[in-house]
């Protein structure tokens, strides 16, 4: 707490006025919309009682080292403060049914922001240049159509889900150390992160575009699951992805391009019905897990493939016998160490069905044509079903 207090004091003013800073050290419970909080630094937490209604105005404190919690105040219409500059704990807004605006015009620094079940919230204002520093952010079930107030450079976790009016997110984020999850927002959601260079886990659903021209490093997974308007994706500077690369149920997707990608954990490309060619991986050489390709492919090219630790399943609704020989040969040379199966004219190729399930085991005899499909080692398609996992994970962030 001492380090938090020191940081809060620095945020309040210069060294010449530190001696004049007043500090409250006990938790504060607010029971009226215009409370008197006679201190510059709240070295504790502030909780707003559920009975507070109308417009809440929090004036006085410049820094809060603990939390600012506002939950279940169903008659609260607005929240404002012209003095609060930093919140070092959690800023939590939850289940505020009538809340329409948040105006924290001095706020620059947050630790964790949790905005959940705010169905009328349409206006969000943070500082003159937005919040520039934050750790974990969840924005879910709001009426927001603009997140320009989140002018952050780096974040551990950012979850944006079920905001039906939100159709665009333009961000100057450079680094995401844990999770970026953008799912089930407004139709044709467009994401532009032109400065993003590194990320851990990326999960996207109901997104029309995801522009990341500078992205180089993905330390965990990249997952596109059920993006009905997505037509193309390019990650021209990404060289490795430690875990999964997944494209499932993207019905308008026609092109995927990773020109510099050399190694991945595993790959699943399935039920992207307009994707007729898998040829955007010219340098992919090492796959630590396995490969699943299921669709209407007419062309599959992985010219640099030299080491697949798991298995490989390639099924198409078309005749792919011309390139099934490549996978048969790779299996015979032990490039593919697990079970290999490549089949043509599989009616249920996109979804699995009676022609075998969508996994291939890490061992066993390879097969093509009418051979039997088995399971890819350590590869689970279920981990990309974002709709349930994101909502469940979001509820446990705090």
Tell me what pLDDT residue 152 has: 87
Please say whether the beta carbons of 87 and 81 come within 8 A: no
Per residue in 252-278, pLDDT tens?
999 999 999 999 999 999 999 999 999
More confident site: 1 or 269: 269
Q: What is the domain extent for residue 314?
A: 262-379
Do the domain assignments include residue 147? no
Q: How many CB atoms are located within 10 Å of the residue 328 CB?
A: 19
Residue in this structure with the two tokens 């995401």, named with its chain if needed: 176
Residue 364 confidence (pLDDT) above 80: no
What is the Cα 92 distance to its own chain's centre?
20
Burial class (CB in 10 A: 0-12, 13-18, 19+), 174: middle
Tell me what pLDDT residue 4 has: 53
Mean pLDDT, the chain, as a whole number?
86
Q: Which of 121, 142, 163 is the last residue of a domain?
A: 142
Tell me what pLDDT residue 195 has: 96
Q: Which two tokens stand for residue 113?
A: 């922001």
Residue 356 confidence (pLDDT) above 60: no
Collect all residues with Cβ–Cβ distance below 8 Å to 332 and sequence separation of at least 6: 366
Collect all residues with Cβ–Cβ distance below 8 Å to 281 and sequence separation of at least 6: 258, 261, 301, 302
Do the domain assignments include residue 194? no
Distance CA 265, CA 299 (A): 23
Residue 387 confidence (pLDDT) above 50: no
Do the domain assignments include residue 245? no
Tell me what pLDDT residue 374 has: 34
Do the domain assignments include residue 126? yes
Average pLDDT over residues 155-181: 95
Do the domain assignments include residue 372? yes
SS (H, E, C) 295-356: ECCCEECCCCCCEECCCEEEEECCCCHHHHHHHHHHHHCCCECCCEEEECCCCCCCCCHHHC
Residue 53 confidence (pLDDT) above 50: yes
Residue 398 confidence (pLDDT) above 50: no
Residue 132 confidence (pLDDT) above 70: yes
What is the pLDDT confidence band of residue 359, given thresholds at 50, 70 and 90?
very low
Residue in this structure with the two tokens 């600012």, named with its chain if needed: 68
Phi, psi at 99, each rounded to 5°: -60, 125
Tell me what pLDDT residue 188 has: 87
Among 346, 390, 67, which Cα is nearest to 225's?
390
Do the domain assignments include residue 166? no
Same domain? 267 vs 133: no
Collect all residues with Cβ–Cβ distance below 8 Å to 322 and sequence separation of at least 6: none
What is the distance between the terminal CA atoms of the chain, rounded to a whole angstrom? 19
Please say whether the beta carbons of 202 and 225 come within 8 A: no
Residue 381 confidence (pLDDT) above 70: no
Tell me what pLDDT residue 138 has: 97
Tell me what pLDDT residue 183 has: 97
What is the Cα 341 distance to its own chain's centre?
33
Residue in this structure with the two tokens 């150390």, named with its chain if needed: 177
More confident site: 16 or 282: 282
Tell me what pLDDT residue 143 has: 96
Tell me what pLDDT residue 379 has: 34
Strand partners for 315 = 294, 343
Residue 394 confidence (pLDDT) above 60: no
Distance CA 247, CA 224 (A): 5
Q: Which two tokens stand for residue 42?
A: 């709240």
Phi, psi at 382, each rounded to 5°: -60, -25
Average pLDDT over residues 27-37: 96
Tell me what pLDDT residue 11 has: 52
Residue 236 confidence (pLDDT) above 90: yes
Do the domain assignments include residue 232? no
Average pLDDT over residues 109-116: 95
What is the pLDDT confidence band of residue 7, given thresholds at 50, 70 and 90?
low
* Strand order across the beta sheet in which 168-170 lies: 168-170, 189-192, 207-211
Residue in this structure with the two tokens 């809440």, named with its chain if needed: 56
Q: Which of 92, 127, 142 is the last residue of a domain?
A: 142
Residue 351 confidence (pLDDT) above 90: no
Please say whether the beta carbons of 181 and 386 come within 8 A: yes
**Number of folded domains in the chain?**
2
Distance CA 375, CA 312 (A): 9
What is the pLDDT confidence band of residue 193, given thresholds at 50, 70 and 90?
very high
Average pLDDT over residues 300-308: 96
Do the domain assignments include residue 153? no
Residue 365 confidence (pLDDT) above 80: no
Residue 354 confidence (pLDDT) above 80: no
Which of 8-17, 45-54, 102-111 is the most confident on average?
45-54
Collect all residues with Cβ–Cβ distance below 8 Å to 236 and sequence separation of at least 6: 213, 257, 258, 259, 260
């Amino acid at each position: 707490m001492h380090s938090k207090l020191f940081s809060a004091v620095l945020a309040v003013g210069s060294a010449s006025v530190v001696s004049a800073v007043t500090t409250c050290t006990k938790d504060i419970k607010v029971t009226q919309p215009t409370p008197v909080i006679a201190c510059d630094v709240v070295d504790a937490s502030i909780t707003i009682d559920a009975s507070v209604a109308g417009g809440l105005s929090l004036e006085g404190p410049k820094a809060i080292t603990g939390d600012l919690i506002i939950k279940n105040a169903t008659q609260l219409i607005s929240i404002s403060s012209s003095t609060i500059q930093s919140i070092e704990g959690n800023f939590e807004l939850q289940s505020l049914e009538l809340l329409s605006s948040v105006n924290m015009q001095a706020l620059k620094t947050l630790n964790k922001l949790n905005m959940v079940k705010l169905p009328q919230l349409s206006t969000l204002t943070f500082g003159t240049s937005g919040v520039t520093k934050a750790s974990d952010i969840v924005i879910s079930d709001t009426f927001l159509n603009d997140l320009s107030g989140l002018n952050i450079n780096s974040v551990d976790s950012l979850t944006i889900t079920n905001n039906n009016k939100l159709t665009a997110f333009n961000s100057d984020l450079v680094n995401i150390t844990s999770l970026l999850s953008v799912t089930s927002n407004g139709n044709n959601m467009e994401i532009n992160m032109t400065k993003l260079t590194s990320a851990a886990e990326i999960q996207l659903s109901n997104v029309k575009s995801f522009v990341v021209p500078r992205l180089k490093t993905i330390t965990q997974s990249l997952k596109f699951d059920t993006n009905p308007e997505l037509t193309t994706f390019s990650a021209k500077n990404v060289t490795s992805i430690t875990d999964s690369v997944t494209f499932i149920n993207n019905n308008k997707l026609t092109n995927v391009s990773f020109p510099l990608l050399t190694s991945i954990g595993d790959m699943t490309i399935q039920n992207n019905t307009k994707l007729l060619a898998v040829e955007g991986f010219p340098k992919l050489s090492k796959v630590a897990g396995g490969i699943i390709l299921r669709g209407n492919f007419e062309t599959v090219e992985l010219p640099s493939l030299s080491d697949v630790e798991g298995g490989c399943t390639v099924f198409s609704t078309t005749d792919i016998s011309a390139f099934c020989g490549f996978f048969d040969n790779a299996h015979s040379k032990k490039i593919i160490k697990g079970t290999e199966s490549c089949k043509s004219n599989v009616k249920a190729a996109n979804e699995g069905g009676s022609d075998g399930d969508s996994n291939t085991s890490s061992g066993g005899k390879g097969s093509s044509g009418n051979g039997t499909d088995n399971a890819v080692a350590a590869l689970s398609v279920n981990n990309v079903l974002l709709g349930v996992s994101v909502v469940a994970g979001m509820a446990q962030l705090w």
